Amino acid sequence: MNTTEIIQTIKAQINEGWAIPVYNSSIGPNYVSSSENAFVLENFEEAAAAQYIPATSFTDREKEAVGKMLAQYGDEFDIRASEVAGLVVVEEEGGDWSCIMYVHAINTMEQLAGYINDADEWPGDVEDIIKTNGWLSDTGTNFGVCHNDTEKVVLNEKGEAIVISF
């Protein structure tokens, strides 16, 4: 997904009633929810330099911002660190910068399989997602990812994650 697609996804999440944390280097953490606050997204849409940074590429600066946003709003909005897929970042004049969190809630085996398949390389937070959902990890076995009482995620011969019910 490119930055524009990520922003559209965030807008859709807000329209569905999600509250999405944002961060400004001079103000600190805040959040966007409902169309009343959608103007915040305009800065990200209009900025030619808006850049999507996946969680796997966070620098210390982005990690610190995410930590502050989760500390402030994570519990309130039921957002876990393993659900932070990335940030849309805008560099502002004077050295300030802002970012909006892209949350990819993964609560089902099907969502996990899709998340793995959408990634260019193996996502580093798969184990966190497995633990967060109370699933059992199979990552040390041939082609295994995880399982619960009724389903499991495995890699097929093409390297694609698939869900198998049993």
- In tens, the pLDDT along 21-61 reads 999 999 999 998 876 666 677 778 877 788 999 888 899 99
**Would the pTM of this model clear 0.85, i.e. be above it?**
no
> For 108-148, how does the pLDDT look when each residue is reduced to its tens digit (9 = 90+)?
999 899 889 988 888 877 887 898 889 999 988 889 999 99
Residue from 65, 70, 53, 60 nearest 26 by CA = 65
> For 68-118, how does the pLDDT look when each residue is reduced to its tens digit (9 = 90+)?
999 999 999 888 887 888 999 999 888 899 999 998 878 899 989 988 998
Q: Strands (DSSP E) along 12-94, which ranges? A: 19-24, 28-33, 51-54, 84-91
Where exactly are the structural domains of the chain?
3-103, 109-165
Q: What is the pLDDT of residue 162?
A: 97
